[in-house]
Structure 1
Amino acid sequence: MEDSKTGEEGESGPAVDAELAKAIMARHFRPSLIVTEAWEGYTFAGLEIRIKESTDLYGAVLWPSALVLCHFLDTNRDKYNLTDKNVIELGAGTGLVTIVSSLLGAKVTSTDMPDVLGNLRYNVLRNTRDRCKYIPQVTELTWGQELEQRFPRATHCFDYILAADVVYSHPYLEELMDTFDHLCQEGTQILWAMRFRLDPENSFVERFQKRFHMEELYDLPSLSIKLYRGWRKDKWTVPHSGEAAA
């Protein structure tokens, strides 16, 4: 792994971690008045975003890793310019990363399991309508299944793969790795935020490094979250920040 680069300017240490974590969590707010529909508020790309969670579905709850990834994209637009880029999000959940990427000008394909799609579509539509250059596409994706049929490599070339908190203790980590492998072509960059909880997270990082180059962009011990950038080992050399295939 390359040297750690914590924060927008590359500093590291407890003070920077605390300051950055505070700035990230400040993006979140709750309605000041009682409302008929429960929602959580977030501010990115200079706009208010309202997210409805579904507490009865594990994948329909917003986790802090999504805030970390959204903050990074919003504050590093010069290095990681999403305008007109082809982006796919894995495990989109409540849709915050998809929404922010769309507001930043990307052409986004938002994916998750079938039981999450209803709430995901609702959040994406309510927050991107008449706000975005491209209408985000929400579609089902079960990791490791029918990847070439659903996303043929000849016609589906993504500049960025985004993922927030998709790695946790479940039996489908190998399928997730296969999905990364299929979608990540020459010129594709993976931006992936994860919260470290159990040993499977550490072992997944080790397996990821066997297939991909990996650079640590954020290390936030106070949130137990790291943000990585990855690209294929077998396809191309180290890209500059924000560089993608022509």
Structure 2
Amino acid sequence: MTTVADSSDDEINPVTMLLLNQNDDLSEQKPEAVPTLVQHQTYHLNSVNSTVVIRQLPSQGLSFQLWPAATTFVKLLDSYNPSNTDSFSAAVTNAVTTVNCRKRLRILELGSGTGVVGIAASAILGADVTVTDLPHVLPNIKFNADVNASVVGPRGGGVHVAALSWGKVEEMEAVGREYDLIIGSDVVYHDNLYEPLIETLKFLLLGDGEKVFLMAHLRRWKKESGFFKKVKKWFRVDLVHEDGPSDGSRTGVVVYRFARKDAVFR
């Protein structure tokens, strides 16, 4: 198992850097201020022979768009099999085995954006997935969940939508801790959100049991190394998957597993 090292500030991929606006995703947008451009992306899930269709609203902000880390996460879920020996599959299998007599796996997704990863996880794993984001993002997530209900239903899963502003105790308590697996993709993108995200992970992972957070990430900013330095004060962070560079990029999507420091994995 490889433990993630501090990222070098020299390794930056300017081609795939997000053009962040200070207001993006930090406060409610005003839909009437800009035309609403609607785009659709389809994902064929070979494992369940179904297609997920996701609506994007790029003019509404970053949370209404699809990003590379989400695509990688969906592909990994689609290739999952309990007999697989790779580290990503092992992390999912470990969560599945904790279900015991319950009928379904319980998953929480942080910073769901369009909801594609949570929807795919529910369809593929037959899981009850709670997808979360800021309140103004939820209507589009619910739209995508409803559109894909016929894909999720046959495996017995379900997608539930909830507001979760990282670090807000009342919202974290409303969502709760009773999950077998926590997931997220492209959630480390703004340094103002590093501490709230860490506080949320502490709330979810430092209680009873050995739950993990699987995070797909494409590095874009030098300052991201600061997040990993902070988070490793509290958690064990392991690299469980790495894509090779693509489309002229110097880096590819990586997936990390966050867990309590005393966690032991097979």
TM-score scaled by length of structure 2: 0.70
Change (3 A) 1:231 1:4: closer
- Which residue pairs with 2:40 in the alignment? 39
Q: Is the 8 A contact 2:163 2:171 kept in 1?
A: no
Task: Output one character per residue of 1:31-79: Cα deviation in whole Å (capped at 9) or x when no partner.
Answer: xxxxxx7311111233111111011221110101011112222222313
- Which residue pairs with 1:128 in the alignment? 149
Q: Does 1:190 align with 2:213?
A: yes
Which range moved further: 130-139 or 100-109?
A: 130-139
CA distance in 2, matches of 1:77, 1:232: 25
What secondary structure is seen at the aligned counterpart in 1 of 2:240?
strand
Identity %: 28
What secondary structure is seen at the aligned counterpart in 2 of 1:230?
strand
**Which amino acid in structure 1 is aligned with residue 162 of structure 2?**
T
- Which residue pairs with 1:73 in the alignment? 77
Change (3 A) 1:239 1:158: farther
Q: Does 1:48 align with 2:51?
A: yes
CA distance in 2, matches of 1:142, 1:132: 30
Which one of 174, 177, 199 corresponds to residue 150 of structure 1? 174
Q: Is the 8 A contact 1:40 1:52 kept in 2?
A: yes
Q: Does 1:98 align with 2:118?
A: yes
CA distance in 2, matches of 1:93, 1:131: 24
CA distance in 2, matches of 1:230, 1:135: 25
Q: Does 1:64 align with 2:68?
A: yes
Q: Specify every segment of 5 or more residues in structure 2 that has no aligned partner in the other structure, as ranges.
A: 5-37, 83-89, 97-102
Which range moved further: 72-81 or 173-182?
A: 72-81
**Which amino acid in structure 2 is aligned with residue 53 of structure 1?**
Q
**Which amino acid in structure 1 is aligned with residue 134 of structure 2?**
M
- What is the alpha-carbon root mean square deviation over aligned residues? 2.1
Q: Does 1:222 align with 2:245?
A: yes
Change (3 A) 1:169 1:149: closer
- CA drift of 1:92 comes to 0.5
TM-score scaled by length of structure 1: 0.76
Query: Which stretches of structure 1, 4 residues or more, deviate above 3 A after TM superposition?
Result: 129-132
Which range moved further: 67-76 or 37-46?
A: 37-46
Q: Does 1:108 align with 2:129?
A: yes
- CA drift of 1:237 comes to 2.8
Change (3 A) 1:168 1:232: same
Q: Does 1:163 align with 2:184?
A: yes
Which one of 190, 194, 201 corresponds to residue 180 of structure 1? 201
- CA drift of 1:97 comes to 0.5
What secondary structure is seen at the aligned counterpart in 2 of 1:39?
strand
Q: Is the 8 A contact 1:169 1:198 kept in 2?
A: no
Change (3 A) 1:127 1:106: same
- Which residue pairs with 2:263 in the alignment? 237
CA distance in 2, matches of 1:183, 1:111: 14
- CA drift of 1:132 comes to 4.2
- CA drift of 1:85 comes to 1.3
Task: Output one character per residue of 1:83-110: Cα deviation in whole Å (capped at 9) or x when no partner.
Answer: 8211000000111111111112111110
Q: Is the 8 A contact 2:162 2:175 kept in 1?
A: no
Which one of 232, 241, 254 corresponds to residue 209 of structure 1? 232
Number of residues of Structure 1 aligned to a counterpart in Structure 2:
203
**Which amino acid in structure 2 is aligned with residue 194 of structure 1?**
H
What secondary structure is seen at the aligned counterpart in 1 of 2:202?
helix
**Which amino acid in structure 2 is aligned with residue 209 of structure 1?**
K
CA distance in 2, matches of 1:175, 1:106: 27
